């Protein structure tokens, strides 16, 4: 139930001039929500591609990004290694090919590069692995097998490793080696299975001499951020289960080999994901520069990596609310690497003293940077793509985030405020702005506190936005994550209500015009808050969970036992599932609701949104339901994003009694 990765590239956002009468004065006064804005829905869609990894390939840098205007397909781009953000960018993987894995439904690691400079990728439509040699057409490397998906591709010591998911009478996962000569394209037996004995596997990597495989493994009912272990086996050993060398009672993460054959990995036995180094000779692991910040995060996406080994140490992301990139030398000296990005940082690749890092600045679209660490105290930071607005004037429209905390009923709650911001307009005297409280998905995920194009779309029109990292969010250590253990539908709901109450009490937001919005697990919290409280006057649920029992019965294997930890195991906890589910108490919802749903969603199927729609209709609650054909869990197509942001704005206008200047009104259905 996790949200999509952040936007990848900035594009032209100032796409239309303000009306002539809007630009004539420096301080017009207009009602909040009605402000004219140059940030259009089309611009939001154009600024919404998403990254899926980056690699050094010879003298080039390759990366993957979605193309919203091409039905959200994932293309592979490339640029000369020495160029910056204004350098030449070519498309290596053209339409209609799309590099996207279905493993765990969230995919990730859908492509890699061979030592000879070929592109290997998982084609979305058939889940086969293909090889593209630049200048030639792709050729298949794996057979067409119904019910099989591949992902988490990793070229390691010249061998192509992948996570395989097979759907049959049950769902199984293993790590396979895929021949690069195409011999497995028609013979599945040529695809060697390297692991066994675990419900889930991820992040395979071979030792420098190629003799030993390390990988991450975990079993139902745990999620990888609850309990996971690093396992190793000699490739020529007859026992594919290998042996555990780390984790098990904690959540180990991301095994990587050093050049001399030791293992680096993250583990949160201390309460925070810290780096460890282990010699397989049997010595105890060494903690590297321990800190009460996380180097690591929830493994929703198979390709995610938070650190990389360098010849003189490690480069790593540390998180406690916001992200920081650091270099840790071999003798333990920690040097902070100054970088514009402060949210959603990932260490994508390393080569020599160069590192590729993706992430989001505080006040600009996300981007990709090449960092030269020959002198860590004086790094060379080079922007490759995104990371800035293409028009410098946009900065006047971008809100400055304000980090704050609220003393909630379950402890401190972390949140970020994005106030209404406009270079030429201010709100009507003696009125407070409407606000939207945003709830991230997961629920084990994190709001990075950085400005997104969707946020600017609202704030530039006079609508404030607050993101809440409710109890259960990642980025604040294990104790904060585990506040939600057994308490989903309680702690998250109370936390967002407490933040809304605080916004009203301190005069930030109009108490009568606070909406709540969220997707997936965030949609569950939206509906739960509307059931439990009158703090919100409107709600927007994107592919949200309405019935926990239905979710447990219908969702995919990766999350099939997620609710064991969030609510309790079935059937023993069935009464709790029933009591917590918003659908059970839908008759308590009084505020208008907007429901947005992807027709092809396999994580939270349309039946969830349709059940709550029917309940709202029966209760006579004003609502609207929009079903988007061709969309899954998270919206990727340009036309969908355009319609979504316009519909949400029109809904807020209908619920709060204002008329947006450039969006047609939305008629709400009242049902009974």
CA dist., res. 455 & res. 281, Å (int): 52
Dihedral in degrees, nearest 10, Cα atoms 439, 441, 443, 444: -110
pLDDT recorded at residue 44:
83
CA dist., res. 151 & res. 129, Å (int): 9
pTM of the model: 0.91
pLDDT recorded at residue 603:
82
Segment 38-84, tens digit of pLDDT:
888 888 877 756 788 999 999 999 999 988 788 889 999 999 987 77
% of the chain residues with pLDDT over 70: 94
CA dist., res. 555 & res. 576, Å (int): 19
Whether 445 and 489 have beta carbons less than 8 Å apart is answered as: no
Whether 141 and 120 have beta carbons less than 8 Å apart is answered as: yes
Dihedral in degrees, nearest 10, Cα atoms 632, 638, 642, 648: 20
What does the H/E/C string look like for 9-40? CCCCCECCCCCHHHCCCCCEEECCCCCCCCEC
In this structure, are strands 139-140 and 129-132 parallel, antiparallel, or unpaired? Answer: antiparallel
Least confident residue range of 15-19, 208-212, 395-399, 446-450: 15-19
pLDDT recorded at residue 672:
61
CA dist., res. 416 & res. 438, Å (int): 10
Dihedral in degrees, nearest 10, Cα atoms 609, 611, 617, 618: -160
Q: Which residues contact 296 (CB under 8 A, 6 or more apart)?
A: 253, 254, 266, 268, 273, 306
CA dist., res. 342 & res. 361, Å (int): 5
Segment 278-330, tens digit of pLDDT:
998 877 899 999 999 999 999 999 999 999 999 889 999 999 999 999 999 99
pLDDT recorded at residue 175:
98
Segment 20-32, tens digit of pLDDT:
444 444 579 999 9
Whether 563 and 550 have beta carbons less than 8 Å apart is answered as: no
Q: Residue 613, exposed/middle/buried by CB under 10 A (0-12, 13-18, 19+)?
A: buried
Please report which confidence band the pLDDT of residue 19 belongs to, taking 50, 70 and 90 as the band edges. very low
* 480-to-8, 253, 405, 618, 619 alpha-carbon distances in Å: 29, 18, 14, 38, 37
Q: How many CB atoms lie within 10 A of CB 5?
A: 23
Whether 64 and 111 have beta carbons less than 8 Å apart is answered as: yes
Q: Residue 202, exposed/middle/buried by CB under 10 A (0-12, 13-18, 19+)?
A: buried
Q: Which long-range contacts (CB under 8 A, 24 or more apart) does 566-572 make?
A: 566/443, 566/484, 566/485, 566/486, 566/487, 566/488, 567/486, 567/488, 567/489, 568/486, 569/221
Residue with tokens 């596997």: 201
pLDDT recorded at residue 6:
36
Kindly tell me if the per-residue pLDDT of 5 is higher than 80.
no
Beta strand extents in 352-463 (DSSP E only): 354-361, 367-372, 380-386, 402-408, 411-418, 425-427, 435-439
Segment 130-147, tens digit of pLDDT:
999 988 999 999 999 999
Whether 506 and 493 have beta carbons less than 8 Å apart is answered as: no
Whether 438 and 466 have beta carbons less than 8 Å apart is answered as: yes
Q: Which residues contact 595 (CB under 8 A, 6 or more apart)?
A: 541, 544, 609, 612, 613, 623, 624, 625, 626
Kindly tell me if the per-residue pLDDT of 18 is higher than 90.
no
Residue 113 has, within 13 A of its CA and on its CB side, a CA count of 22
pLDDT recorded at residue 548:
94
In this structure, are strands 425-427 and 28-30 parallel, antiparallel, or unpaired? Answer: parallel
Please report which confidence band the pLDDT of residue 8 belongs to, taking 50, 70 and 90 as the band edges. very low
Whether 328 and 275 have beta carbons less than 8 Å apart is answered as: yes
Q: Which residues contact 331 (CB under 8 A, 6 or more apart)?
A: none
Whether 226 and 209 have beta carbons less than 8 Å apart is answered as: no
Segment 483-501, tens digit of pLDDT:
999 999 999 999 999 999 9
Least confident residue range of 321-330, 549-558, 648-657: 549-558
pLDDT recorded at residue 365:
82
Mean pLDDT of the chain: 92
Please report which confidence band the pLDDT of residue 391 belongs to, taking 50, 70 and 90 as the band edges. low
Cis-peptide, bond into residue 443, ω within 30° of zero: yes
Give the torsion sign (CA, 83, 88, 94, 98). Answer: positive
Q: Residue 100, exposed/middle/buried by CB under 10 A (0-12, 13-18, 19+)?
A: buried
Please report which confidence band the pLDDT of residue 2 belongs to, taking 50, 70 and 90 as the band edges. low
pLDDT recorded at residue 103:
96
b/e per residue 424-435 (b: at least 16 CB within 10 A):
bbebeeeebbbb
Whether 454 and 640 have beta carbons less than 8 Å apart is answered as: no
The two tokens of residue 280 are 């397989």
pLDDT recorded at residue 10:
34
The pLDDT of 364-370, averaged and rounded, is: 89
pLDDT recorded at residue 94:
93
């Amino acid at each position: 139930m996790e949200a999509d990765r952040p936007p990848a590239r900035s594009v032209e956002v100032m796409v239309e001039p303000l009306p002539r009468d809007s630009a004539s004065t420096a301080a017009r006064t207009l009602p909040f929500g009605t402000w004219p804005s140059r940030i259009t829905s089309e611009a939001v869609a154009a600024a919404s591609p998403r990254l899926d990894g980056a690699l050094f390939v010879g003298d080039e840098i390759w990366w993957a990004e979605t193309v919203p205007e091409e039905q959200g397909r994932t293309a592979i781009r490339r640029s000369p290694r020495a160029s910056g953000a204004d350098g030449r960018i070519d498309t290596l993987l053209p339409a209609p090919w799309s590099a996207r894995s279905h493993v765990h439904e969230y995919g990730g690691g859908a492509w890699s590069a061979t030592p000879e400079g070929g592109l290997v990728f998982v084609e979305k439509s058939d889940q086969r692995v293909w090889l593209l040699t630049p200048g030639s057409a792709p050729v298949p490397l794996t057979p067409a097998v119904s019910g099989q998906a591949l992902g988490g591709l990793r070229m390691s010591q010249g061998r192509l490793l992948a996570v395989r998911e097979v759907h049959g009478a049950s769902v199984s996962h293993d790590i396979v080696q895929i021949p690069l000569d195409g011999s497995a394209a028609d013979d599945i037996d040529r695809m060697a299975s390297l692991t066994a004995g675990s419900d889930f596997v991820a992040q395979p990597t071979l030792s420098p001499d190629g003799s030993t495989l390390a990988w991450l493994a975990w079993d139902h009912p745990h999620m990888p951020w609850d309990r996971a272990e690093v396992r190793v086996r000699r490739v020529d050993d007859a026992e594919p289960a290998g042996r555990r060398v780390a984790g098990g009672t904690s959540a180990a993460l991301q095994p990587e080999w050093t050049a001399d054959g030791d293992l680096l990995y993250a583990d949160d036995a201390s309460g925070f994901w810290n780096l460890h180094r282990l010699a397989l000779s049997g010595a105890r692991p060494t903690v590297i520069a321990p800190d009460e910040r996380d180097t690591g995060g929830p493994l929703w996406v198979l390709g995610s990596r938070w650190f990389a080994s360098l010849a003189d140490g490690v480069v790593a992301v540390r998180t406690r609310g916001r992200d920081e990139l650091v270099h840790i030398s071999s003798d333990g000296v920690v040097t902070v690497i100054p970088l514009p990005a402060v949210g959603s940082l990932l260490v994508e690749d390393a080569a020599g003293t160069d590192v590729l890092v993706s992430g989001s600045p505080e006040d600009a679209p996300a981007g990709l940077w090449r960092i030269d660490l020959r002198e860590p105290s004086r790094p060379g930071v080079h922007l490759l793509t995104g990371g800035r607005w293409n028009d410098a004037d946009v900065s006047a429209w971008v809100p400055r985030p304000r980090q704050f905390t609220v003393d909630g009923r379950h402890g401190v709650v972390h949140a970020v405020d994005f106030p209404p911001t406009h270079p030429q307009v201010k709100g009507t005297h003696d009125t407070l702005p409407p606000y939207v409280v945003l709830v991230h998905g997961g629920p084990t995920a994190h709001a990075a506190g950085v400005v997104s194009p969707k946020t600017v779309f609202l704030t530039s029109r006079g609508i404030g936005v607050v993101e809440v990292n409710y109890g259960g969010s990642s980025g604040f250590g294990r104790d904060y994550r585990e506040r939600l253990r057994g308490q989903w539908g309680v702690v998250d709901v109370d936390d967002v209500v407490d933040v809304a109450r605080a916004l009203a009490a301190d005069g930030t937001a109009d108490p009568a015009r606070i909406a709540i919005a969220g997707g997936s697990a965030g949609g569950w919290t939206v509906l739960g808050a509307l059931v439990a409280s009158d703090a919100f006057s409107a709600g927007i649920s994107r592919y949200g969970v309405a019935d926990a029992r239905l979710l447990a019965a219908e969702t995919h294997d990766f999350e099939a036992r997620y609710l064991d930890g969030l609510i309790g195991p079935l059937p023993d906890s069935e009464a709790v599932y029933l009591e917590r589910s918003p659908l059970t108490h839908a008759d308590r919802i009084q505020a208008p609701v907007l429901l947005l749903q992807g027709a092809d969603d396999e994580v939270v199927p349309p039946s969830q949104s349709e059940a709550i729609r029917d309940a709202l209709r029966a209760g006579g609650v004003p609502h609207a339901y929009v079903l988007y054909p061709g969309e899954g869990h998270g919206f990727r197509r340009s036309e969908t994003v355009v319609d979504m942001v316009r519909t949400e704005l029109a809904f807020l206008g209908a619920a709060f009694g204002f008329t947006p200047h450039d969006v047609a009104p939305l008629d709400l259905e009242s049902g009974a």
